[in-house]
A and B are shown apart, each in its own frame.
Chain A
């Protein structure tokens, strides 16, 4: 196993997972000198009575819940975050719990920044650093969590903030909150988590630590996604997938290259279509491109995704191809997902625009030509068989020379 010449890795959140995990929150908050959390959630989770489950878990714990708020829209509204800060202060809360997926966690992170800075930092209009220390922050992911919750960033009004302070202190995974999702939730979140994990595995700055966690995430997804998609009430499977998503979030935060994520997100914003489906189709093409460039051989990936027997039965020179094949096969098995997104009827100029925008991102170590190649093939559901012209390829050496392969 190769150890890179230098790397950095940080897994900040503590993870607690399993039976009665919610009941441990009080003890953990006590360890952070907190006992009055505000809970941010969504109407979807109120409908499945997750708020009641948390209240029951907090009985006899000595905790008082400052407030439970469920009214946020899909994307972070600056005014709401500002008003949540008043609610936080009104009830003298001292910690924040986000119960739900990405949008809920965005609010919670934005609230934390406001609250910790007493509303003084206007994060939506000025370029500014996040000033620590923030309040104790716990996330309780649900089946619609794709791992973005456990990252070190928050997107507000089109801008993204990144700081280690934004990592949650604690991730609590309990079957009471992971088994109330739908098939669509399971598939969407797992596809995104898979894309994050695989990209971390093959990124420029991949290292033994990142690979350990990415390996676990990939293995969990492959072992559980199909059965959870068929039965979203599967408790053990649900816990496994949410664990996978949390790990995917960690490796995503630490890896330097996320082409499938960036391409999928940009295209999803431009067209209004599901990012998960687009990322699921883009991922195999990203893997193929890396393979053709000699940057991905698939051996360890195949062990994680297919198990030892599949790896041993595949000739070494075919590990890469087999890896791509099993990712494509997985998307086929997930009935709500498709191997391509031509059904979305996206015009070529949108694909070109997306490729251009993605290529200028520091987190995409592909040229515009490479991005377009990936998009076109994933749109049509075809394999990438040939690289673009030599001058239109970027190698890992060129990325390093450009300063894109940062050590620390």
Chain B
């Protein structure tokens, strides 16, 4: 190859993977909002966070995001998929789309993804840990045990989350995710 024949290459996009991540984030966002209503632990986690708390979770450099935050009454709102122009006190991002796929196909749990430096956290780390705990609980609601057990460090025992709580919560959360209320 002659030197003068080397042209610029603009690598394309991973459309299907972006779509998949966007769908997963959308579902997770609605599920977090639903869990904040129905699950007492998630409720408490959010209550312990500052009044102006708002976070974004997404994929770098300009991949899909979700934005959530507290309104003036302390209610948890799903603020959409675009962080641009929205004030957030915590930004959590996965470094690239392939790492995000590993997380959202549960090949790597959130804890392992952190251990593998897949995440970048911009803001208070203790707030970020609260979000990780909330994500863990939401994953237990959304996913069957054999998948959720891959995503979380320790699947809750019956004494920590009764079957009734889990299944009723699951129905209510799925209903809110699908119907959007």
Interface residues of A (CB under 8 A from B): 18-20, 23-24, 26-27, 30, 55-71, 80, 83-84, 86-87, 91
- B side interface size, CB within 8 A: 27
Residues from 1 to 54 in B contacting A, C-beta threshold 8 Å? 1-4, 6-14, 17-18
* 6 A-B pairs in the complex with CB atoms less than 8 angstroms apart: A23-B98, A59-B11, A60-B11, A65-B8, A80-B3, A91-B8
Cβ B102 vs Cβ A19 within 8 A:
yes
**Do B61 and A71 touch (CB < 8 A)?**
no
In the assembled complex, the CB of A79 is this many whole angstroms from the nearest CB of chain B, namely 10
Residue of B4, B10, B14, B102 near A64 (CB, 8 A) is B10
Instruction: Give B residues with C-beta under 8 Å from A.
Output: 1-4, 6-14, 17-18, 60-63, 95-99, 102, 116, 120
- Could you tell me if B2 and A61 are in contact, using CB atoms closer than 8 angstroms? no
A58 to B8, CA, bound (A): 13
**Assuming the A-B contacts A23-B99, A30-B61, are A68 and B9 also in contact, with contact meaning beta carbons closer than 8 angstroms in the complex?**
yes
A66-B96 CB under 8 A given contacts A71-B2, A83-B3: no
Q: Knowing that A23-B99, A56-B11 touch, tell me 16 more A-B residue pairs with CB under 8 angstroms.
A: A20-B99, A23-B98, A24-B95, A26-B96, A27-B120, A59-B12, A60-B11, A60-B96, A61-B96, A64-B10, A65-B11, A67-B8, A68-B6, A69-B1, A69-B3, A71-B1
Contacts of A59 in B (CB 8 A): 11-14, 97
| Contact among A19, A30, A67 with B6 in the assembled complex (CB-CB below 8 Å) | A67
Contact B61 A84 (CB under 8 A): no
A-B complex: 9 closest residue pairs judged by Cβ atoms: A67-B6, A58-B11, A65-B9, A62-B61, A23-B98, A20-B98, A27-B95, A71-B1, A59-B11
- List the B side residues contacting A70 at CB < 8 Å: 1
Q: A61 to B61, Cβ gap below 8 A?
A: yes
Residues of chain B lying within 8 A (CB to CB) of residue A63? 11
Residues of the B chain whose Cβ atoms lie less than 8 Å from the Cβ of A61: 11, 61, 96
Contact status A60-B13, CB under 8 Å: yes
Contact A67:B61 (CB < 8 A) given known A19-B102, A23-B98, A61-B96: no
